[in-house]
Every structure is written in structure tokens, then in C-alpha cells.
Amino acid sequence: MAKEKLSIVKIGGNVIEDKDALKTFLENFSNLEGKKILVHGGGKRATSVAAKLGIESKMVNGRRITDADTLEVITMVYGGLVNKNIVARLQALDVEAIGLTGADLNSIKSDKRPVKEIDYGFVGDVKQVAHQSIDKLIQADFSPVFCAITHDGNGQLLNTNADTIASELAIGLSKLYKIELTYCFEKNGVLMSVDNDDSVIQHMDSGTYETLKDDGVFHDGMLPKLENCFNALEQGVSRVIIGNPSVISNKEQKFTTLYL
Amino acid sequence: MAKEKLSIVKIGGNVIEDKDALKTFLENFSNLEGKKILVHGGGKRATSVAAKLGIESKMVNGRRITDADTLEVITMVYGGLVNKNIVARLQALDVEAIGLTGADLNSIKSDKRPVKEIDYGFVGDVKQVAHQSIDKLIQADFSPVFCAITHDGNGQLLNTNADTIASELAIGLSKLYKIELTYCFEKNGVLMSVDNDDSVIQHMDSGTYETLKDDGVFHDGMLPKLENCFNALEQGVSRVIIGNPSVISNKEQKFTTLYL
């Protein structure tokens, strides 16, 4: 039997912070036909709340360290403020949204990242997605809204990259559904030239990706996102799209579709 | 057909802030047989976070006013920090917990309290409990964990008293279940003398309640709690108990049982 379609859509922090972009996105998401999951990042709000609370952002080699205080702020801002406001706004648009972290229903279990050269603190690398528990929500026609928090199964919440959460959910649920995974961010897609918003690469297979990567086309933020995307395709996800917050409306001409 | 039992347990802010009391409570809750829901208040953490963020607590006639900034803090602390940590800890105790506000699944809809003598701000009076949506979670053997936040259905989150949320959930779900509603707080039960923790009133019907109320036995915090309890009993809830965090272990000798 052909698998039913499930859309998993991830929005980045820049979309969340842009009032108009978020409004447009949520309306488009509410109009998206069929079963669907939203995954959201946090944006700069966590940094500003941390600063106000006198918690210093600790960076090592350009990477943020999640100490205990920072984890509390992330839990407050991503799990509370951002997640629950998105849920309330989706409900107003008649989406039966339910806001989740990976701790809820034990849906996403992680391992705290081992300390090697750098101690990243309370950061989790995804170990297990409870696709059957999540599917009970989907089967009830609920739309899960995930923030970028997981847990270790022993009572500890962990900070996890939202792009990774989206791709791991996509991989886990591809056992049950035909998954269309979409990453929405502030650009129109993957760009050949980061300064030219019209230079969208409309189709990219894994071979082209490797070539362009070697040519140094992709900047630091795009590389892990693309690694997540190709990993998802390799592990059973049907289609991966990268575009702006309107790409899920099917009205956008420009966006990037990735292939193996 | 006899209705199945559903336990609804509310813990107050003083239990949440007492590390040992919370640990004991969560262990007892995890051992509680059958279907169950947890409702938690927020405690003083919201006040301390607000103070650090430079948000003044506004009081009018001894009642807290929930302005927009205060609502943000409540959403962060109750909906994020407190709720998701409780969920993670219950998961570690093998409870399939799922943390919710009233916005999730549109589970508890409120009306923003009308402005009369006092403008309470973003405070919601419960209008509707979506007992059928909540029951889909219960039927899947999930244990909902509610914080003290509801929504108006138009995208606005609202601050709502946790005692009221517990009693309204109990009333709504009494259509489907035999409800045992338990309020856990820092005392051993309803006391004849507020300074004597041994003066627990073990059984109290509505007649006795009215008499003792007229005699001025109950202090300000206890009165609305008891009003909630008798309201729940009048509207179909089977049993209401008030006691300390061990009362749900069935090992406590002293607690208060309320009757109509």
C-alpha cells in the first residue's frame, strides 16, 4: 500500500523574529493540505533574554556553549514563549496544534554530546525518535509543533539543533509516511552567490552538492543544513525542499529541490 | 457501564519550589495506578525571573495584574521551564507525560476577564474544556501535564489559576470518567487552625463548609480553593481530596475529603 504523505516543515529563527514573515508562514502552514508537523528554531530572543538575566553567552571556536543557565533560558524561550505562542496562533487558524519538546511522549531521545576538545554543555545528539508515539498524535489529526529541545531519558533536557530535529523526525517517520521535508528560511533557496537572492540553485543532486562544496560555494550556516538534508534523503525521506516562508504555498517559483 | 477512574492531581507552587517535596511527589505520581493528569502552578520562580528582567509586579487590591510583559514571563516559566522539566522527570520515571497549555489541542479555552473596577490584564476565565481531544491523549495512555495557561482561541494566551484549571478539567472529563480530584500543597489538609498542622479537618461536607466559612476558619488562599472543590463536586466529580504531596501514595493518614 502506498504510504500517506506527511509534510514536515522547519522554520528558522529569522522567520520567527520577522513579524510579517511569521504571519505569512503560519497562514501558509494552516493552508497546507494533509498531515503535517512544524519544527521551529529559537532565534535571537534567547540571547536577548539571557543578556537581560545577566547570563553571558559563552562561545568556544565560534560555537555556543549551553551551560545550565543557558539551558534554562532556552527551555523558557523555545519551549515556552516561542512554542506556545505559535501553537495559540495556529489554533486561531484552525490547526489542531500541539506543542512538544523531545521530552514529551519521550518523542526524541538524545545523548549528551561527549566532551572532547570542547565541552558543549547540555547539547544533545539525537539517538532515537519515537515514531509510533508521535504517530498517535498524527493519527488523531493533531499537528505536532516541535521546538529545538530533546532529553536524555534520565530527566535532563538538552539543547538540539532544530535542523537536525527536523531531519531526524523525517527519517523516523519515513517508516510510516511518504515524507516531504521543507526548510523555510529568509532566503529563496540555496544560493550560488550568497549576496544574490536570485541565484537560487533550483535542483541539486548529491554529486552536484559535493562539487559545489569543494568549490567553496556554501557558507558555514548552509553546510550542516545540507548535510542534514542529504542524510534524510539517504535514509528514506522522499523529497527535501529549501526556500522562503512562502514555499509551502506552492505559489513560489524559486526554491531548491534536493535529490540523491 | 461503570466509568473508568481518572485521577487529576494538582500541585501548588510551594511543592514545585521544594526540591525534596517535588521529588517525593513525582515518584508518588509515577506510582499512581491508572489513567492520570497532572496540573501544576508556577510558584515564585516567575516573580524572580520577572524581577531580574526588570518587570515590575503590579498588584491592585492585593491581586496580581498580568500585563503583556508578565504574561511573557509566565509563558516562559510555567509553559517552558517548569512544565518541560516536570515532563522530563516523569519520563525518567516511565510516565508517558506530555506537557500542555490550554492552547495545545485547543484543550482549555478562556474568556479574557472583562474590565470592571480592576483590569486584571491577560487573565482568562475558563469557558470550555475540549474533553474529547484530551481524551484522545488519555486513551493512548499518555499522561497530560497542564500548566496554568489557557488561550482565547484567537491567538492570545491567558494566565489562569491552576486550581481552577484542575477543577474545570475534572468537571469536563467527568462526562467520560469517574474523577478523583486531588489538591496537593504544603499542608496536611484543610486546617481548623492555620498554625496547627495537626488540626486537619478529615471530612467536610458542603453544610459544614458553609458553617466554618461563616465562622472565619478559612484564610484567604483556602477559600477560592474550596469553592473550586465544591463546584467540582456539584458538577459531577466523584471525590475531592486535599492533602500534602504524599496523599496520592495512599500511605497518608491525615488529609481532607470533601463531600456535597
Which residues are B242's β-sheet partners? B183, B256
Q: Does A96 touch chain B (CB under 8 A)?
A: yes
| Confidence (pLDDT) at B33 | 96
CA distance B192 to B254: 13
Cross-chain residue pair A53–B52, CB shorter than 8 Å: yes
Query: Does the structure show a pLDDT above 90 at A137?
Result: yes
B181 touching A (Cβ < 8 Å): no
> Could you tell me the three cell numbers for A180?
516531504
pTM to 2 decimal places: 0.97
Structure confidence at residue A127 (pLDDT): 98
Bridge partner residues of B200 (DSSP):
B191
Task: Tell me how many domains chain A contains.
Answer: 1
Mean pLDDT confidence for A155-176: 97
Assess A223–B contact: CB distance below 8 Å, yes or no.
no
Q: Who among A72, A84, A140 is closest to B101 (CB)?
A: A84
Residue in chain B nearest A71 by alpha carbon: B81
Q: Residue A189 and residue A257: Cα distance in Å, rounded?
A: 9
Is the minimum CB–CB distance between A241 and chain B shorter than 8 Å?
A: no
pLDDT, position A194: 87
The answer to whether the Cβ–Cβ distance between A80 and B76 falls below 8 Å is yes
User: Which of B49, B75, B132, B134 would you mutate first to test chain A, the one with the most A CBs within 10 A?
Assistant: B75
pLDDT of the residue at A57? 81
Nearest neighbour of B75 by CB, restricted to A81, A104, A156: A81
Q: What is the CATH number of the domain that holds B9?
A: 3.40.1160.10
Residue of chain A minimizing CA distance to B23: A155
Helix (H) or strand (E) holding B119: none
- Number of CB pairs < 8 Å for A and B? 133
The per-residue pLDDT for range A116-130, each reduced to its tens digit, is: 989 999 999 999 999
Alpha-carbon span B204 to B155, nearest angstrom = 41
- pLDDT the model gives residue B60: 80
Model confidence over A192-244: pLDDT tens digits? 998 899 999 999 999 999 999 999 999 877 998 999 999 999 999 999 999 99
Candidate from B79, B104, B155 with C-beta closest to A89? B155
On the question of pLDDT at A44 being above 90, the answer is: no
pLDDT of residue B251: 84
Give the closest residue to A34 by CA, choosing from A136, A131, A179, A161: A179
Complex ipTM, two decimals? 0.96
Which residues of chain B are modeled with pLDDT < 50?
A: none
Of B4, B36, B69, B28, the C-alpha closest to B146 is B36
B10 grid coordinates: 494538582
- Looking at chain A, which residue has its C-alpha nearest residue B133? A140
What is the residue range of B29's domain?
A: 5-258
Are B140 and A136 in contact (CB < 8 Å)? yes
Cβ of B95 under 8 Å from any chain A Cβ? no
Nearest alpha-carbon partner for A201 in A228, A240, A163, A232: A240
Mean pLDDT rounded to a whole number for chain A = 94
The residue with cell 495512599 is B250
Backbone angles phi, psi at B207, to 5 degrees: -65, -50
B49/A156 CB distance under 8 A: no
* C-alpha cell, A134: 508521535
Residues of B in contact with A133 (CB under 8 A): 96, 140, 142
B-chain CB neighbours of A99 within 8 Å are 100-101, 103-104
| CB-based contact, A89 to chain B, within 8 Å | yes
In angstroms, what CA-CA distances link A169 with A6, A28, A233, B24, B111?
A: 11, 21, 12, 34, 36
Answer whether B54 sits within 8 Å of A52, measured CB to CB: yes
| Cβ–Cβ contact A144 with B under 8 A | no
Chain A: residue whose CA lies nearest to B156: A88
CA distances from B1 to A212, B173, B178, B179, B234 (A): 67, 16, 11, 15, 22
Quick check: A24 and A246 in contact, CB under 8 A? yes
For chain B, give me the number of helices (H) and strands (E)?
A: 9, 14
Amino acid at A153: G
- Per-residue pLDDT, B214: 95
Average pLDDT over residues A162-166: 96
Of A72, A78, A156, the CB nearest to B88: A156
